[in-house]
Chain A
């Protein structure tokens, strides 16, 4: 998985609780991304980062926030989890912007919100 780890790998939580997912990379890549994957929707971009403390929204960012205080870590936070956020979350990294090369994906985190 190109030096990308995600934690936790599985999590079950209750509606209304905060949840933080962590993505850690050892590749020193500048760009990091959070996607969610749901049946019938494929992969959808939640947020991405183009450097330390530089982040931007993707197409499904409502209800999510991110932080990147150092190159290797990108955190995704659900401030108050809802059942609609039950999904598989993937982190990805790339050395260059999307138009120049591929993104490498982590193993995913399966989140269930009851």
Chain B
């Protein structure tokens, strides 16, 4: 079935650098996308979302880019800090068994080196 995937399972960056986490999705009918951050031992935490009628959305130190042509989603984190170390998931709203549900990617582990 269609699902959300990831380009890289791990990403290591230096503190202060910008981070880019990528996500590929395969359902062209998906119209809503979310990025979550999950720290060790905790539940996923909402970071930012974007709808399919937008190409870009900015939050505090984060930007999400959506390229519907190639079905690609990315999360950019500016001036990455040690507190950004976590696993990041993308999720898409899609139809499963006739109902709309969020489908999650497997995650990218971001490590920020001091």
Contacts and interface: CB of A to CB of B under 8 A. Distances in A.
Mostly helix, strand, loop or mixed at chain A's interface?
Answer: loop
Interface stretch (B12-20, B60-68, B74-82, B93-101): B93-101
B101 A43 contact: no
B89 A107 contact: no
Mostly helix, strand, loop or mixed at chain B's interface?
Answer: strand
A106 B43 contact: yes
Given A42-B89, A43-B89, A105-B43, A58 B106 contact: no
Contacts, number: 56
A30 interface: no
B101 A104 contact: no
Interface residues of A, number: 26
A43 B44 contact: yes
A108 B100 contact: no
Contacts of A97: 100
Contact of B43 (A40, A57, A59, A107): A107
Interface of B: 31-32, 34, 36, 41-46, 49, 89, 91, 93, 96-97, 99-107
